[in-house]
Structures are given as structure tokens and as C-alpha cells.
Structure 1
Amino acid sequence: MSSSNGTPPIDGNQANGLDAAEKPRLTEEEKKQNHIASEQKRRQAIREGFDRLCELVPGLEGMGRSEGIVLQRTVEFMRTQLEERRELINRIEGAGGAVDDELKKELLYEQESIKRNAARVNGKGKGR
């Protein structure tokens, strides 16, 4: 539909300076509420992650928790698991069995990764 002068009609959004494809801008209050909702969602995801760690790591079930303690015990648990895996590989090979080289490479990589990250956390790594 054209107006009598040959230009297309103007809808309400165009009259307000908005193209038809543009959405109306959020108010400051809407932006604030969106930010609050996003932050609550992020915090909930972190809480759920810590809850999951508490379920998986022995000794953390049912404890009131400090996130620092949960992380510390998780790292200790991972180190123990890696050490046990290394000992199993040694026992298998000591008994004449074969262990896939890829498994040994993964173990070595994981152990080195933990050492690097521990050094960084303790202030001994790069950038500190």
C-alpha cells in the first residue's frame, strides 16, 4: 500500500525511529533484571557443579562445604586415582602383561598437567 505521494506507509515502529527488523531497546530495568537472572543461573550452575563433586569425591558426602576444601580434596582424589592407575600399569607390565601405549601417554600427560597446575596455584608457575 502506498500513500498518495508514492511513498510506503509508515508503521508505528518506523514512526518511533525503528526499522521493522529492529526490536525495541530494553529499558535499564529490563537490562538489570536480565543481568540478575543470568548471574543467578551462573551461580546455580556452579553450586550444582560443587554438589556433583561432593557426590563423586569420597569424604565429601553430606558435609557442609567450603568450596576451597571441595576443590582441594578433589585434586587430592584425582592425584590418588592417577597414582593408582600408574601402579596398576606397573603391576600389569611387571607380570608380563601389555598396556596400550596410548593409555600410558594419557597417564603421563595427566600427571604432568596436575604438576603444572599445582605449581601455578602455589605461585611457582609462570606469571607470578
Structure 2
Amino acid sequence: MSTSPPREADADADAGSANGALEEKPRLSEHEKKANHIASEQKRRQAIREGFDRLTELVPGLEGQGRSESVVLKKTVDYMRAQLEERRRLVGRIEEAGGRVEDGMRR
């Protein structure tokens, strides 16, 4: 099945209709731009709040805590460090017992 390249006239017509569609689209007013920006910022903040709420569900000791994001972040980092140390300890025990741990599981 062979296709022929588009003719120049067809390409120009397609480009003209594409430009025409762009020209027809109205520009946002300053009020609409501001409303879009506010909505976008609210959505971003809501996503952050939901992320912190999720951390309070996952990290022991954060249940029922206030909404101090700095406390949530610090306790999350402390918890992750403790989990990594526990993993290293368990890998060491496995290897001391003669077991083998894959490289991907060491990290």
C-alpha cells in the first residue's frame, strides 16, 4: 500500500485551518486567570494535606497528632532511618547464618 505525500495546497489548507482554530479561541480575562490560579493553588495545597494525612496513617506515633507538618516530616524521617537500620541488621543476621541476600534487597 503506497501513500503519496500531501500536496502543498492541502498542507497550506490544513495549516490555515489549524491557525484559524487557534485564533478563534478566546483569551482568558484577568479575572479568569486569577480564578484558575487560585483553583490550581487550592488543588496543590489539598494534595499536600492529603499526603501529610497519609503519612500520619503510616508512621507509628503520628496517630492523633496535630497538623504540624514539621513534626510529621521529622518523625517520618526518623521512622525511615530506623527501618533502614533494621533492614541492615536483618541482612547481617541472614548472612551470619550462612544465607544469601540479593544485592537488590540490601538497599
Q: State the TM bucket, normalised to the shorter chain.
A: 0.7 to 0.9
CA shift, 1:52, in A, is: 0.5
* d(CA) in 1 for partners of 2:61, 2:30: 46
- What TM-score, normalized to structure 2? 0.77
The letter of the residue matching 1:52 is R
| Cα distance per residue 1:51-87 (max 9 Å; x no partner) | 0000000010121121001000000000000000000
Q: State which of 83, 86, 102 in structure 1 corresponds to 2:104.
A: 102
* d(CA) in 1 for partners of 2:78, 2:55: 12
Does the C-alpha gap of structure 1 residues 20 and 90 become closer, same or farther in structure 2, counting only changes over 3 Å? closer
Other structure's SS at 2:48 match? helix
* d(CA) in 1 for partners of 2:68, 2:20: 52
What corresponds to 1:67 in structure 2? 69
The letter of the residue matching 2:84 is L
Other structure's SS at 1:58 match? coil
* d(CA) in 2 for partners of 1:47, 1:62: 15
The letter of the residue matching 1:85 is R
The letter of the residue matching 1:65 is R
Unaligned runs of 5+ in 1: 1-17, 108-128
* d(CA) in 2 for partners of 1:50, 1:32: 27
What corresponds to 1:121 in structure 2? none
* d(CA) in 1 for partners of 2:92, 2:60: 25
Identity %: 72
What corresponds to 1:45 in structure 2? 47
Aligned residues: 88
Unaligned runs of 5+ in 2: 1-18
What corresponds to 1:21 in structure 2? 22
What corresponds to 1:113 in structure 2? none
- More RCO (CA 8 Å, sep 6+): 2
Root mean square deviation, CA, Å: 1.4
| Cα distance per residue 1:24-59 (max 9 Å; x no partner) | 000000000000000000000000000000000001
